[in-house]
Chains A and B, each alone.
Chain A
Amino acid sequence: MQRSDYLIRKLFFAVATLLAVIVFNFFLFRILPGDPVKLIVHSPRMTTESQERIRVNFGLDKPVWFNEEGYQEAGLKGAFDTQFTAYIRNLLKGDLGISFSTRKDVTELLKERVWRTVVLVVLGEFLAIFLGIALGMIAAWRRGTSLDTGILLYGLFTWAMPTFFFGIILLMISGGRFPIGGMVTPGLKPEDGLAYWKDVGWHLILPTLTLTILYLSEYMLIMRSSVVEVLSEDFILTAKAKGMNAFQIFRDHALKNAMLPMVTIIALTLGYTVGGAIQVETVFSWPGIGRLMFDAVQKRDYPVLQGTFLLLAVSVIIANLVADLLYATLDPRVKPD
């Protein structure tokens, strides 16, 4: 099989997964018990007409997936006058529906929130990747020494630490020296230029620190074990026999090979970037996608949940695809069969 076939096959699987997610995402929120209109109608005194109008506005007046009445009246065309076809039609137009609580377009809500999450998570991930790789290399290079043991212990300790717990501890010991929550001091806007970004940076410190400290352990442990594994390979012995010094071996042979699993793990983790670090965003009240999801769960705002789920699924599918493709490019052993 050719490389192009491999590409097509991977693309095909990605698209198939996406379609499955889209369908699943629709039915997931419809199989839940209860009438969604009850979630929008907050007062027992609201008239039946008002309730009906809300039902129509949110497209909840139609059957979920098969319109029997419509089928008898207008055949197949009427049969598909349903919530499901409306959902697919709107999705193709980039319309993810209207939030039950804010009545805003879910697409707009996601657009407002996504960059805030990306700023936080990318910064945290970047620092974690950089420090994780560095510490992992040092540990592998000094394998078996007390330094290695120390790094390993540190990695296991921070890896085992629950995110929200660590975040709360940071909040408590910071005692007000850093902002308790939010992204910016009320009143500052992007138009204020440097002052705004300085303030955002100030608000970023605690959540980024939490993300970095907790995420770096995963990179560090994987980096360490893959370097250790590579260092025990025969070609390293050959390199030694050729007279290369330890640094050269490490740089030219061990590192390059050890980076393979790292690429996969980085690509996969970045897939979760837009999903946000729900716990970190919640602990530090960071107004990103994760917070949006947390609030939507609390308010049972199903259209928003549906939108965030879809966004998360799409980014994970894309990241997986990128990882597959990168892997095939980087590692000649990954040959399509």
Chain B
Amino acid sequence: MKHKLTILLTLMMATVLILSACGGGQEAPEAPAPAEPEAPAEPADAPADEPVTLDVGTTYIWDTANPTFGWYGYTIRYMIYDTLVEEMGISDFQPGLAESWDVSDDGLVWTFKIREGVKFHDGTVCDANAVAWSLNWTLEQDVETFAFYLYNFEEIVALDDTTLQVTLSSPVGNMEYLLMYVWIMPESVWGEMDYDAMMEFEDLSAAIGTGPYILKEWSEGEYLILEANKDYWRTTPVIDQIIYHEYATEDAVVQALLAGEIDVTDTDSIPATAIQTLQDADNVEVPIMGSTTIDELIINSHENGSQPASLWDPAVRLAMAYGIDKQQIVTVAYLGYADALGPVVPASMGDWHNSDIVDIPFDVAAGNKVLDDAGYVDSDGDGIREYSDGSPLEYRFYGTDDSTVARIMEIIADGLEQVGISAPPTLMDEDSLIALYPAFDFDLVYWGWGLDPDPDFAMLIFTCDQREEGGWSDSGYCDETFEEKYVEQGITVDHEARRALIWEMQEQLFNDRPYILLTNAKNIQAYRSDLFTGFGTATGDILWKAALLQGKPAR
């Protein structure tokens, strides 16, 4: 019996031992120093001449090294390529490869002074001639990832080595923003390629630009290594090497930071539930930054949509706004890391945000009064008010099948119920939901997305043309006055005049309510403050070129 017990105990202990081996096992050669999750590893001080390496954790590196069809990994691509104009903070555009620029009075001719002494990673010169070649090539090849930003560029010529002249077919109000997306690519790599060759080009030399970092290695699904460009036209980057590690989940990224495997996390890589753990950890800094991410309740506003007639009544829309507790959404779904939002352009976008708009507060009594005054009564006592034709204020309310979305939709539905409107949430697959848009076959939808740093796109989606097949309208909104203002802001070069138009448009949307805006979430990242310091936070992403170039070793 004693013998049996010994075997049993041995077996039972086997698993425990294996598990504890993980927890306190012996050191392996390549392993980082042991550490408690609460206190990240303290690596020994690096000798002064050892290269500085920044390890970045992300859930997705990128799709391809070829930027002509690569849609992911933008922060990495901006490390490799330069643009004429760069984003230094959300909606703050500053000179990049172009030192300065002028525009003619009619807004049609733009003259750029191109920086001198800039070279591509392969040593070829990047002067005004090279920039002109790159922009013309972008248009000729119709590069799918960024040619559309040059939609009204009629002629692009280099007047001399440092002067570039662009003639437009019509003025544009957001030239700096458009140019921020157009990478300058070398003729030495792309010059001989036709469209098909370009689309099949997989070589890492596709990533040759003039940027501060050079692509050294990429292993798909695993890691990517960037090395500092010693000839970068600003100054040689302080961080010699950046290694991007790809993890399958956000939780793994957080664990990797706590374990000392990485020094900084990507945006979208921290689940809200992990923020507290990271903030409590020693030597970890958690910057909470502005973003252009918005969440909204879409109200079907297409005249041929399948929504009930009552949804057209401004009183019903206003009562809905009164019935939504945005602060509860901020607290419950975002654990406080978001702001309630009134106009479609969030405050993070500087003076594009209409700060005159006073948001409708969560006020059930006021919501009920609006509907009472408008003659909506609950005649059958079921808690739901009725429209003049006797039909109850019952709406189809859709969202994507995600647990956070479900919680937010419950908060909205509960609030609406308090003003006598029934909108029970229905969750569905994202594809199924998107498939409802073309026919505008819905009443209410909960949705979220990220705005561009320029307000143009946020306005574009409310224009009539975008309701056609392939368009991006999700509310079906179409209004003549709005349309005129949209066209006008597009060709208004003067910032102040354009800002005034954008403010008016926000106000119109706020009053017509094709969207009831809900929240503007924060961008949250984390980094090892004992190892690195100085990262900029103005762009809402410390891995963005302008932000990362400010970073340096803490010691």
Contacts and interface: CB of A to CB of B under 8 A. Distances in A.
Interface of A: 32-34, 38, 42-51, 53-54, 57, 101-104, 109, 112-113, 135, 138, 142, 145-147, 150-151, 154, 158, 168, 170-187, 198-199, 202, 206, 209, 213, 281-285, 287, 291-292, 294-295, 300
Given A206-B22, A209-B18, A285 B248 contact: yes
B546 interface: no
Contacts of A43: 145, 148
A113 to B, nearest CB: 8
B12 A150 contact: yes
B5 A146 contact: yes
Nearest to B469: A35
Contact of B144 (A46, A186, A213, A291): A46
Given A177-B22, A206-B22, A283 B248 contact: yes
A57 B144 CA distance: 13
Contact of B22 (A145, A173, A292): A173
Nearest to A290: B248
A195 B12 CA distance: 35
B199 interface: yes
Interface in B456-511: 457, 460-461, 466, 470-472
A170 B15 CA distance: 12
Contact of A42 (B37, B71, B243): B71
B255 A171 contact: yes
B23 interface: yes
Contacts of A57: 199
Interface string B251-292: 110011011110000000000000000000000000000000
A182 B256 CA distance: 11
A55 B492 CA distance: 35
Given A104-B202, A175-B34, A187-B225, A291 B248 contact: yes
B427 to A, nearest CB: 15
B36 A175 contact: yes
Interface string B237-254: 000000101111101100
B356 interface: no
A281 B222 CA distance: 12
A45 B151 contact: yes
Contact of B8 (A44, A46, A150): A150
Contacts of A185: 30
Contact of B225 (A32, A178, A186, A206): A186
Contacts, number: 187
Nearest to B471: A44
B223 A186 contact: yes
Given A101-B63, A103-B199, A285-B252, A154 B11 contact: yes
A283 B249 CA distance: 7
B518 interface: no
A38 B219 CA distance: 28
Nearest to A138: B7
Nearest to B244: A186
Given A38-B434, A180-B255, A187-B225, A173 B23 contact: yes
Interface in B162-205: 199, 202
B460 A44 contact: yes
Given A50-B142, A154-B15, 20 more contacts: A33-B434, A34-B431, A34-B432, A34-B434, A44-B461, A103-B64, A147-B7, A151-B11, A172-B255, A173-B19, A176-B37, A176-B261, A177-B23, A177-B27, A177-B28, A186-B223, A186-B245, A198-B29, A283-B252, A300-B431
A75 B30 CA distance: 66
A183 B248 CA distance: 12
A46 B435 contact: no
Interface string B145-156: 101110100000
B23 A175 contact: yes
B8 A282 contact: no
A291 B246 CA distance: 11
Given A46-B148, A285-B247, A175 B220 contact: no
A187 B460 CA distance: 45
Interface secondary structure of A, over-half rule: helix
Contact of B261 (A46, A54, A180, A281): A180
B332 interface: no
Given A57-B199, A185-B30, A175 B431 contact: no
B239 to A, nearest CB: 15
Contacts of A180: 247, 252, 255-256, 259, 261
Interface string B294-320: 000000000000000000000000000
Contacts of B28: 177-178, 202
B60 interface: yes
B252 A177 contact: no
Contacts of B461: 44
B357 interface: no
Contacts of A109: 220
A295 B431 contact: no
Interface in B18-47: 18-19, 22-25, 27-37, 41
A175 B30 contact: no
Contact of A44 (B35, B261, B457): B457
B4 interface: yes
B18 to A, nearest CB: 6
Given A103-B69, A146-B4, A175-B259, A282 B249 contact: yes
Contacts of B148: 43, 45-47, 50
Given A50-B144, A150-B8, A33 B256 contact: no
A282 B222 contact: no
The CB with the most chain B CB atoms within 10 A, among A45, A150, A151, A154, is that of A45
Contacts of A151: 8, 11
Contacts of B34: 175-177
B52 to A, nearest CB: 16
B302 to A, nearest CB: 18
26 contacts: A33-B435, A44-B461, A50-B147, A102-B64, A109-B220, A147-B11, A170-B22, A173-B23, A176-B33, A176-B34, A176-B259, A177-B31, A180-B252, A181-B245, A181-B252, A182-B223, A186-B223, A186-B245, A187-B217, A198-B29, A199-B30, A209-B22, A281-B248, A284-B248, A287-B221, A300-B431
Contacts of B12: 150, 154
Contact of A291 (B142, B221, B255): B221
A285 B247 CA distance: 5
A283 to B, nearest CB: 7
Interface string B53-71: 0000000100110100101
Contacts of A174: 22-23
B187 to A, nearest CB: 22
B258 A176 contact: yes
B41 A176 contact: yes
A69 B22 CA distance: 64
Nearest to B36: A175
Contacts of A285: 246-249, 252
Contacts of A113: 221
Contact of B431 (A32, A47, A135, A147): A32
Contacts of B71: 42, 101
Interface in B339-355: none
